[in-house]
Amino acid sequence: MARVYLSLGSNLGDSLALLRQAVRELQAVTEIHLLETSRLYETEPWESEPGQPAPRWYLNCAVAIETTLPPDPLLDCLQRIEAALGRTREAKTLEAGRFQPRTVDIDILFYDTRVVSVPDRLQIPHLLLHERAFVLHPLAELAPELEHPVFYQTISQLLDELDDAHAVRPTSLPPRWFD
């Protein structure tokens, strides 16, 4: 089985209920075994789309799983979960629409130590994880010594060197917030 780290986020609708349901959906997939989740964090949105009001803050977490699914079928599975929870995708590229509010967003951060690049579809490790406090803080809870297979730095080192002023704060929910 491959060890995979995911980032989950939501800032539309009942974000807590949606993230709880996303974790339940992951647990229901036969080929996925949930290992652990980070605490939930409230995180400041990066930007809003031009002409749109400032979006609500996100709830974010990191999740560790083991899976027998290869990367591409895993992505399909995660996108089905997102769609079932109301996520819509209008853009066909990774760049377009990346700051739009979401019911649920599930990103593959790491898939073992593999490096995968399928343009406009799948990039592992996630291309921007090293620039995002909302990803690194929760991930550091689960895997502080995990080494990035491209940068050869641990998650703790990436977090120490992070230049991201967006606020990231743990919620008051218990560690097993998804039960």
Q: Which residues are catalytic?
A: 87, 102, 105, 107
CATH superfamily of 2-170: 7,8-Dihydro-6-hydroxymethylpterin-pyrophosphokinase HPPK (3.30.70.560)
* CA distances for 82 relative to 9, 18, 19, 53, 121, angstroms: 11, 10, 10, 24, 15
Query: Quick check: helix, strand or coil at residue 65?
Result: strand
In the predicted model, is pLDDT for residue 93 greater than 50?
no
Domain ranges in the chain? 2-170
Closest-CA residue to 34 (of 81, 96, 72, 99):
81
The pLDDT tens digits for 115-136 are 999 998 999 999 999 999 999 9
To the nearest whole number, what is the mean pLDDT of the chain?
91
- Rounded to whole angstroms, the Cα distance separating 101 from 49 reads 9
Is residue 23 within 8 A of residue 63, CB to CB? The reply is yes
**pTM of the predicted protein model:** 0.92
Average pLDDT over residues 44-54: 68
- Rounded to whole angstroms, the Cα distance separating 87 from 64 reads 22
Average pLDDT over residues 22-35: 97
Q: Which two three-digit tokens encode residue 164?
A: 């991201």
